[in-house]
Structure formats: structure tokens, C-alpha cells
């Protein structure tokens, strides 16, 4: 199981520690990730009116939301169910759309810095 320190070190490798290392959702990941699961890409955006952390591993896409008060929410999609992904960069923020076999997920107000590496990691080899 990845520890919080290992996750923060991985964020540093990705160049995203300053952007996402403080997020409440990050503290949930050590309990959620499987022992051999590795953080590949991270971004965040607004989906259904709530700010969510979007984490991509080699196995699945995780969408986490941890309010200051209340229960956290977790949605995950196996990678094989992701059919396509696209991003649009605006002046200040971008939009990330992830199409799955069940439904599309659209995230607004995505940091432009995190969008290209996230899409690159999602693209087929």
C-alpha cells in the first residue's frame, strides 16, 4: 500500500506537488489504492457542481471528493471501460472529458498544466 509520503513523492516526480499535495482527497488515497497500484496522473475539476480530485492509475480512474464536513465520495472506472478522452485548454483553465462505456464525465476548471500529461497517460500505447 502506498503511504501518504510516497504519494507526495510521486506528485513531486510529476511536477504537481505544489498543486495537489495539500488536497484533502490525497489523504484518502493510501486506503483506496491497491498494494501494487501506482499513481500515473492527477488533475482536478468541477463535476456535478463539486470540486473533485481525478486520479489515474494503471488500473482505474478514481474520482474523489472530500468535503470539509461530511462523507467523502469515491467513483472509480476500470481503465478498460474508458473509451476516449479529450481536453480543451482555455485562457485560464481547461475542460477534460472522459468517455466511458456507461457515461461521459466532464470536468471544468481543470488546471491547464495538468491537462496534457493526463491526456497523454490516458491515450492508448
Residues 108, 96: Cα–Cα separation, whole Å: 7
Residue 115 C-alpha cell reads as 491537462
Q: CA nearest 41: which of 27, 62, 22, 25?
A: 62
Helix (H) or strand (E) holding 71: none
Q: What is the pTM of this model?
A: 0.88
Pair 120, 67: CB distance under 8 Å: no
Residue 69 predicted with pLDDT over 90:
no
Quickly state the pLDDT bin for 68 (edges 50, 70, 90).
confident
The torsion angles phi and psi of 59, rounded to 5 degrees, stand at -110, -30
In the predicted model, what is the mean pLDDT of residues 84-89? 92
pLDDT value of residue 125: 56
pLDDT top residue among 17 and 32: 32
Residue in the structure block whose three cell numbers are 482555455: 90
Average model confidence (pLDDT) for the chain? 88
Find the helix or strand (DSSP H, E) in which 65 lies: strand 60-65
The half-sphere exposure of 106 on its side-chain side, counting CA atoms within 13 A, is 5
**1 has a pLDDT exceeding 60:** no
Q: What is the pLDDT of residue 80?
A: 92
Amino acid at each position: 500500500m502506498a503511504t501518504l509520503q510516497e504519494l507526495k513523492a510521486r506528485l513531486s516526480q510529476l511536477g504537481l506537488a505544489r498543486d495537489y499535495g495539500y488536497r484533502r482527497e490525497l489523504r484518502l488515497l493510501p486506503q483506496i489504492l491497491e498494494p501494487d497500484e501506482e499513481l500515473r496522473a492527477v488533475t482536478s475539476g468541477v463535476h456535478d457542481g463539486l470540486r473533485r480530485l481525478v486520479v489515474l492509475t494503471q488500473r482505474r480512474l478514481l474520482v474523489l471528493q472530500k468535503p470539509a464536513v461530511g462523507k467523502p465520495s469515491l467513483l472509480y472506472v476500470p481503465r478498460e471501460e474508458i473509451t476516449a478522452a479529450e481536453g480543451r485548454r482555455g485562457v485560464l483553465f481547461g475542460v477534460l472529458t472522459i468517455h466511458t462505456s456507461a457515461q461521459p464525465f466532464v470536468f471544468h476548471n481543470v488546471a491547464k498544466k495538468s491537462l496534457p500529461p493526463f491526456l497523454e497517460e490516458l491515450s492508448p500505447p
